[in-house]
Amino acid sequence: MQIAIEPLTADAFAPFGEVLAPRTEPSRMINAGRCERHHALATVERGEGEAILSIFRSQGVDLPYSFDLLERHPLGSQAFMPLSDRPWLSIVAPDADGRPGTPRAFLVPAHTGVNLWAGTWHGVLTPLGGAAEFFVVDREGNGENLEEISIPPVTVCA
Amino acid sequence: MQIAIEPLTADAFAPFGEVLAPRTEPSRMINAGRCERHHALATVERGEGEAILSIFRSQGVDLPYSFDLLERHPLGSQAFMPLSDRPWLSIVAPDADGRPGTPRAFLVPAHTGVNLWAGTWHGVLTPLGGAAEFFVVDREGNGENLEEISIPPVTVCA
């Protein structure tokens, strides 16, 4: 199967998670008017666990890019914020009776993150244009929070 | 009072919080060996509240930089990860009987964040070299989580 890259919008991404980017208007000004606060773009889903902060350093991918593995974290959300100046792909899929449906590939601009809802099927990190670091906020605690599944190969077109 | 800028090290910063940067060695490899996970550099302190994700967009500061206000959040930690390519200052102070002691100014490299412990006195955001966005993980919930205090002016030297 081949899929095309889609632009990232909050509406299009809503079934999978939240877009982490400044809003058109800040929630409020802080620091005596020196700083915009774009407040609570997302709330960590953690169940009985805790929210932890990690850094992932991933190899980059080139287009066309093929994959045959998806994963999900049923017990917590997972946020990815790139620390590079380059765009990246967020590959996600709807759930279809416990298995991933047709994947979608969103082009996420530089300096923009996403917070995946607990249980959202997604691919591995796929930064474009080279290796990149991501600041990650996810959940740690008891219980099995990783489910991986092989799928027929999918290619993201250039 | 004048204070000098100090280099950021995990040891020097330990009384105030954690440095958010990749470790020398990753905690483990994920994504079939394509990605380093530097796991749980920090755990969000949230008490009875929740961990939220926000973006702050702050004006920059120039050196010498003077300030006369510090704040702290007694009920939760607060993590700041810069999204720009430039260093920034983390201004913090020890507690001395409920008031801030002598402030310290740490030079935080680009792509490096800090997670302030709950209750750490700190200044407003002070990015160097121009305005900058920061990805912020802190706590939302019931209770008064902001304490601000005026201090005699302190100047951070160039």
Q: What is the ipTM of this complex?
A: 0.96
Count of CB pairs separated by less than 8 Å, A with B: 139
Instruction: Inform me whether the pLDDT recorded for B81 exceeds 90.
Output: yes
pLDDT value, residue B158 = 80
Phi, psi of A140 (to 5 degrees): -125, 140
> For residue A69, which residues of chain B lie inside 8 Å, CB to CB?
32
* Res A153: pLDDT: 98
Query: A153 vs A1, A27, A123, A124, A129, CA distance in Å?
Result: 7, 43, 12, 14, 22
Q: Where are the alpha helices (DSSP H) in B22-119?
A: none
- Residue B32's pLDDT is 85
Q: With contacts defined as CB-CB under 8 Å, which chain B residues touch A37?
A: 54, 56
Q: Please, what is the average pLDDT of chain A? A: 97
Mean per-residue pLDDT, B40-52: 97
Q: What domains, with CATH codes, occur in chain B? A: 2-157 (2.60.120.480)
* Chain A 117-156, residues with CB within 8 Å of chain B CB atoms: 124-125, 133, 135, 137, 140
Within an 8 Å CB–CB cutoff, is residue A32 touching chain B?
yes
At position A142, the amino acid (one-letter code) is N
Q: Alpha-carbon distance B77 to A68, whole Å?
A: 39
pLDDT in tens, B21-34: 999 999 999 988 99
